[in-house]
Amino acid sequence: MIEPIGNQYVVARPVYSANAFGEEHKKKQRYHKTFLDHLKVCCSCSSQKAKKIALSLFPIASWLPAYQIKEWLLSDIVSGISTGLVAVLQGLAFALLVTVPPSYGLYAAFFPVLVYFFLGTSKHISVGPFPVLSMMVGAVVAKLSPSESTTTVEISNSSISNDSSTDEYKVMVAATVTVLSGIIQLLMGVLRFGFVVIYLSESLISGFTTAAAVHVLVSQLKFMLQLTVPAYSDPFSIFKVLNSVFTQLEKTNIADLVTSLIILLIVFVVKEMNQRYKAKLPVPIPIELIMVTDRLKTFFPHSLVSCFYVENLQEVLVGVFIRVTRMLKSLSDSERSHCLITNLASK
């Protein structure tokens, strides 16, 4: 016992000898488990342990019974529609980065969310394709896939493209890279290599994010301008892509450019309005839904469609995405102007 007395402390406690201390505080006998004992504990099974493992593998079984339908359902539906539309559009855009048919972008937007619904631990996260990974897979696909070619057939002076076989080969390469990456990631997770992320500085992550955004922006230029830009996979590919784009600026599809700028402007303005007036709006304006529905056709008369081939993705089995427009390469400037004037006069 310690008691303060002025500026001093008085310590009062019993004085022990070695024998007296040993009698009062006897040493406990510890049993060291062998490897066989640990193996028995790990391999044993009981109802409580099975339930715990099942809940850890399928967290939905724990939070779904406690879901408050009246309080959460409406908000979850609105947020789910908005997030789902963004995921679908990103999947279609990232499919172009991988150079595979856009329909596979729909699969990439749907199946990860479906799997995470049952196996995920967070109710407020949306998983799906990532632009940097899409570009990396696209570089592998461009390097290993054969160059696109056409096979000429002597029937009515026509040619048949073997795009279908090329697309199938590209899908096979992308799927192989995806499976191998998943196996490597699974092995790294089992070996607990996630600790490496702790040593990544904030400046490194910021620089990586900024560089990735620049690469994604440059990769989308050829789709906005409808230019034929070859795929590059070397370290300085971004400069080669920019050089190819700048040397072909005179071939820019004006309809593509105008369409892209209008959509970018509208989406940017509405996003700012949603952020600024979110307290007054009952639900955010679903600008993504508006941009991918038939209402977009109001911006483009039928005459422009017939002259510039403003075309939607009807080739995609369940596509809801407006494809970037294509100009008729066979028409000269005078023929294109004549086509536009004729169609306007007929209206």
Question: For residue 280, which phi and psi values (nearest 5 degrees)?
Answer: -95, -20
pLDDT tens, residue by residue, 255-303 = 778 888 888 898 899 889 988 888 888 777 878 777 766 545 555 555 5
Q: Say what the pLDDT of residue 28 is.
A: 77
Q: Say what the pLDDT of residue 65 is.
A: 85
Q: Say if residues 311 and 322 touch (Cβ distance below 8 Å).
A: no
Residues of the chain with confidence (pLDDT) below 70: 1-6, 147-164, 292-347
Q: Say what the pLDDT of residue 187 is.
A: 92
Count other C-beta atoms under 10 Å from residue 261's C-beta.
Answer: 11
DSSP state of 325: P
Q: Say if residues 232 and 241 touch (Cβ distance below 8 Å).
A: yes
Q: Say what the pLDDT of residue 320 is.
A: 35
Which residues contact residue 64 at a Cβ distance below 8 angstroms, ignoring those fewer than 6 apart?
none
Tokens found for residue 65: 């019974």
Q: Say what the pLDDT of residue 345 is.
A: 45
Using alpha carbons, list the distances in angstroms from residue 32 to 25, 35, 36, 39, 42. 21, 10, 11, 14, 16
pTM over 0.75: no
- Domain locations along the chain: 73-148+160-189
Tokens found for residue 224: 């906005």
Residues in the chain: 347
How far is residue 119 CA from its own chain's centroid? Answer: 18
Q: Say what the pLDDT of residue 329 is.
A: 41
pLDDT tens, residue by residue, 32-72 = 778 787 777 777 777 887 888 888 888 888 888 888 888 88
Q: Say what the pLDDT of residue 179 is.
A: 92
